């Protein structure tokens, strides 16, 4: 195994942000049943026009090169660290595979130059930990023998696909816990940008909280950045001062957990276990695991079975809650985990009626939002304040 970093100037940390009958998509959809689950019908329909023979040919492990474009530093303790752990799992599974990687890849023409460099180096599979849009798709269109996979995208091509985590389920579960623990009924949410991933997260927290505290609200402050510790702390302070006694968000910056520790509040984190920064305030975290997905993508590419089938890594096999904080009461744990068990059993909490923040009915009674609709969520539910 050979592994080497490539160089690129450090700029921004994170940017805004039909399976074939002859083979299975390289997408983990449940447990450790790699490549064995039935694909999501909506995603299969999206991919069908792009899954056409011939597939990319197989390649020997010792001849293959995997390239990774990290949106942030792999030492961030959150999003990029978790992705880097997945790369380590790939190296363990395929010890003769060569890998190259770059950190802090910006959403700019620098990304195009980097991706072209990957192709010039001989990459057979490129994994990007964020959506690089046209910067990636333009390179993919000129490198038809290279497979490209990017996180949190919507773009498909014959040699390009995407994946994401079904984070709305653990957010709902932790929203239940937040609703049980909040004395004021006000939950503060530190947002990055008004993106579908933010809407889905904030909305899920609110719906979970309202399932146990019907008058609960989620107050949102957007900082217009994926990593700005000072802005994040200022937003958290403003939310706490307004009466929010549970803080949550979508970034992996621990400042608001420290604030919660100092002020006797609760905090729900994102991406990784961060309890060390505020053990008394730590409720839990929405955590991600990309290891099996990365291994499956590489294996399918090596074996000549890779297809541009997008997927959502589900609850329990890619997205989940972290272990409960030490001070979370047993009764709260049991009630929230009962909801988790129901979701794992096939129940969806995203069933109507659901109204938006202007009172309009968006999801009628007895209709359920599927994962693709949740992934594309672009409106705030009733009770989410400050997210337009």
- Domain span(s) for CATH 3.40.50.2300 in the chain: 2-165+290-313, 168-287+350-385
Q: For 63-72, 252-261, 298-307, which range has the lowest pLDDT when averaged over its residues?
A: 252-261
Averaged over 13-27, what is the pLDDT?
Answer: 33
| CA distance readout (Å), 164 to 28, 222, 249, 321, 371 | 11, 22, 17, 16, 10
> Which of residues 373 and 5 earns the better pLDDT score?
373
What pLDDT is attached to residue 277?
A: 95
CATH architecture of 2-165+290-313: 3-Layer(aba) Sandwich (3.40)
Q: E strands within the chain?
A: 2-5, 65-69, 98-102, 125-128, 147-151, 160-165, 186-191, 217-222, 246-249, 266-271, 282-288, 311-313, 319-321, 354-355, 361-363, 384-385
What value does the mean pLDDT of the chain take?
90
From the DSSP assignment, how many helices (H) and strands (E) are in the chain? 11, 16
Averaged over 66-81, what is the pLDDT?
Answer: 91
Q: Please say whether the beta carbons of 246 and 184 come within 8 A.
A: no
Q: 244-281: per-residue pLDDT in tens? A: 999 999 887 889 999 999 999 999 999 989 999 999 99
| CA distance readout (Å), 44 to 18, 39, 130, 161 | 4, 6, 22, 12
Letter string b/e over residues 201-210, b meaning 16 or more CB atoms within 10 A of that residue's CB: bbbbbbbbbb
Provide the pLDDT confidence category of residue 196 given band limits of 50, 70 and 90. Answer: very high
Q: E strands within 103-253?
A: 125-128, 147-151, 160-165, 186-191, 217-222, 246-249
**Rounded-to-integer distance, Cα 147 and Cα 152, Å:** 16
Round to the nearest angstrom and report the end-to-end CA distance of the chain. Answer: 48
**Rounded-to-integer distance, Cα 164 and Cα 129, Å:** 10
Averaged over 10-31, what is the pLDDT?
Answer: 33
| 363 phi, psi to nearest 5 deg | -125, 110
- For residue 113, pLDDT beyond 70: yes
What pLDDT is attached to residue 227?
A: 77
The residue among 143, 216, 183, 192 whose CA lies nearest residue 381 is 216
What pLDDT is attached to residue 194?
A: 92
- For residue 89, pLDDT beyond 90: yes
What pLDDT is attached to residue 7?
A: 42
What pLDDT is attached to residue 40?
A: 81
Averaged over 201-230, what is the pLDDT?
Answer: 95
| CA distance readout (Å), 88 to 62, 68, 315, 319, 360 | 17, 12, 22, 19, 47
DSSP 62: G
Q: 323-379: per-residue pLDDT in tens? A: 999 999 999 999 999 999 999 999 999 999 999 999 999 999 999 999 999 999 999
Provide the pLDDT confidence category of residue 387 given band limits of 50, 70 and 90. Answer: very high
CATH architecture of 168-287+350-385: 3-Layer(aba) Sandwich (3.40)
Q: Please say whether the beta carbons of 167 and 286 come within 8 A.
A: yes
Q: For 39-43, 92-96, 151-155, which range has the lowest pLDDT when averaged over its residues?
A: 39-43
DSSP 21: T
Averaged over 291-316, what is the pLDDT?
Answer: 97
What pLDDT is attached to residue 225?
A: 84
Burial tier of 120 (Cβ tally within 10 Å: 0-12, 13-18, 19+):
exposed
What pLDDT is attached to residue 39?
A: 62
Query: Which tokens belong to 217?
Result: 């609200």
Averaged over 67-80, what is the pLDDT?
Answer: 91
- For residue 11, pLDDT beyond 50: no
| CA distance readout (Å), 250 to 16, 280, 330, 364 | 12, 20, 26, 28
pTM value is: 0.88
């Amino acid at each position: 195994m050979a592994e080497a970093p490539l160089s690129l100037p450090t700029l921004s940390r994170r940017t805004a942000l039909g399976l074939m009958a002859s083979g299975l998509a390289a997408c983990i959809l449940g447990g450790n049943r790699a490549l064995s689950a039935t694909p999501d019908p909506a995603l299969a329909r999206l991919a069908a026009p792009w899954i056409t023979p011939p597939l990319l040919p197989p390649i020997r492990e010792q001849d293959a090169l995997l390239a990774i474009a990290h949106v942030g530093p792999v030492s961030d303790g959150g999003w990029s660290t978790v992705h880097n752990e997945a790369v380590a799992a790939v190296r363990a599974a395929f010890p003769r595979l060569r890998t190259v990687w770059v950190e802090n890849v910006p959403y700019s023409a620098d990304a195009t130059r980097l991706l072209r460099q990957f192709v010039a180096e001989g990459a057979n599979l490129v994994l990007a930990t964020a959506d690089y849009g046209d910067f990636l798709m333009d390179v993919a269109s000129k490198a038809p023998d290279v497979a490209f996979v990017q996180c949190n995208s919507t773009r498909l091509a014959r040699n390009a696909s995407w994946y994401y985590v079904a984070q709305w389920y653990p957010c709902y579960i932790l929203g239940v816990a937040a609703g049980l623990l909040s004395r004021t009924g006000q939950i503060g949410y530190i947002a990055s940008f008004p993106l579908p991933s933010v809407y889905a997260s904030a909305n899920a927290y609110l719906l979970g909280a309202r399932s146990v505290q019907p008058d609960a609200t989620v107050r949102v402050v957007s900082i217009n950045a994926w990593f700005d510790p000072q802005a994040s702390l200022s937003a958290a302070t403003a939310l706490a001062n307004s009466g929010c006694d549970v803080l949550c968000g979508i970034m992996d910056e621990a400042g608001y957990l420290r604030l919660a520790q100092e002020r006797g509040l609760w905090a729900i984190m994102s991406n990784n276990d961060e309890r060390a920064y505020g053990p008394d305030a730590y409720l839990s975290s929405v955590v991600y695991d990309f290891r099996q997905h990365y291994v499956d993508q590489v294996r399918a590419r090596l074996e000549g079975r890779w297809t541009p089938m997008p997927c959502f890594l589900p609850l329990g096999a890619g997205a989940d809650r972290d272990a409960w904080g030490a001070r979370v009461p047993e009764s709260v744990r049991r009630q929230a985990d009962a909801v988790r068990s129901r979701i794992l059993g096939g129940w969806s909490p995203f069933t109507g009626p659901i109204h938006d923040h202007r009172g309009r009915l968006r999801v009628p009674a007895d209709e359920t939002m599927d994962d693709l609709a949740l992934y594309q969520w672009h409106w705030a539910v009733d009770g989410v304040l400050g997210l337009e």
